[in-house]
């Protein structure tokens, strides 16, 4: 059975522009995969813990002597990594907030980057350990930054996802949303979503 992992990182839940478009992607994907399964992570509905010193020590802790609290940190990380591994495709709604990705999405990534689990270093550099699969980024912005040096999101997302082995990254942009261009930007993004799901 085909499996899609949907990650929504808007602060505004289903009312967010990125969530609305990610939900559109999911509806089209479901129509194309009627028996498919969708797993949802919505950071407006569940808090992603910030990676602090206690949590990073837990991630590095040897199994022997690990406390229950440390094991819980590893269990959370293992679970979200397993969700990625088990998915055939991933769609991520990514609004631009203050020139970066939402802090909850960064915190989620911080729990995915695990030496020996999702990446390893070799003599010739880092190797990602996750099974590659298409990742669709629905990037929504109030302004227009695609392809410009001020777009600090897209290169970061490509670098991070590639680092853990996810190299097949597709970007769908809806920009200028605070510049009176929302209708046009949404229409163009929806066309791209349709094409990506059909591809």
Ligand X SMILES: Cc1cc2nc3c(=O)[nH]c(=O)nc-3n(C[C@H](O)[C@H](O)[C@H](O)COP(=O)(O)O)c2cc1C
**CA distances, 11 to each of 47, 137, 178 (Å):** 11, 16, 16
User: Which of 6, 10, 153, 154 lies at the binding interface for ligand X (CB under 6 A)?
Assistant: 10
Site for ligand X in 42-101 (CB under 6 A): 93, 95-99
Q: Is position 11 an interface residue for ligand X (rule: CB under 6 A)?
A: yes
Sign of CA dihedral 114, 117, 118, 122: positive
Sign of CA dihedral 171, 176, 178, 182: negative
Q: Please, what is the minimum distance in Å from the beta carbon of residue 199 to ligand X?
A: 24
Looking at the Cβ atoms of 137 and 177, the one nearer to ligand X is 177
Looking at the Cβ atoms of 114 and 182, the one nearer to ligand X is 182
> Do residues 137 and 174 make contact, with C-beta atoms less than 8 angstroms apart?
no
d(CA 159, CA 161): 6
Q: Kindly determine how many residues on this chain lie close enough to bind ligand X according to the rule CB under 6 A.
A: 19
Looking at the Cβ atoms of 102 and 165, the one nearer to ligand X is 102
Q: Please, what is the minimum distance in Å from the beta carbon of residue 12 to ligand X?
A: 5
- Residue 73's DSSP bridge partners are none
Q: Please, what is the minimum distance in Å from the beta carbon of residue 20 to ligand X?
A: 7
Q: Please choose, out of 6-14, 27-35, 73-81, 157-165, the segment that lies near ligand X by the rule CB under 6 A.
A: 6-14
Q: Please, what is the minimum distance in Å from the beta carbon of residue 92 to ligand X?
A: 11
Site for ligand X in 135-194 (CB under 6 A): 140-143, 177-178
- Angle formed by the axes of helices 17-32 and 182-198, to 10°? 30
Those residues with Cβ within 8 angstroms of residue 23's Cβ, 6 or more apart along the chain or in another chain: 14
Residues in touch with ligand X (CB under 6 A) = 10-12, 16-19, 93, 95-99, 140-143, 177-178
């Amino acid at each position: 059975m085909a499996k899609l992992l949907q990650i929504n990182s808007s602060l505004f839940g289903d009312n967010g522009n990125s969530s609305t478009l990610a939900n559109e992607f999911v509806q089209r994907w479901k129509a194309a995969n009627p028996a498919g399964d969708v797993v949802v992570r919505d950071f407006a509905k569940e808090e992603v813990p910030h990676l602090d010193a206690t949590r990073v020590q837990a991630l590095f802790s040897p199994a022997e002597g690990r406390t229950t609290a440390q094991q819980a940190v590893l269990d959370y990380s293992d679970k979200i990594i397993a969700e990625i591994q088990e998915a055939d495709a991933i769609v991520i709604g990514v609004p631009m907030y203050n020139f970066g990705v939402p802090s909850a999405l960064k915190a989620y990534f911080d729990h995915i980057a695990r030496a020996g689990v999702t990446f390893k270093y070799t003599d010739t550099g880092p190797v990602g350990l996750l099974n590659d699969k298409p990742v669709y980024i629905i990037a929504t912005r109030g302004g227009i930054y695609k392809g410009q040096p001020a777009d600090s999101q897209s290169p970061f997302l490509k670098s991070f996802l590639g680092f853990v082995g996810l190299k097949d990254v597709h970007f769908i942009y809806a920009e200028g949303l605070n510049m009176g261009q929302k209708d046009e930007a949404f229409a163009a993004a929806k066309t791209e979503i349709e094409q990506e799901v059909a591809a």
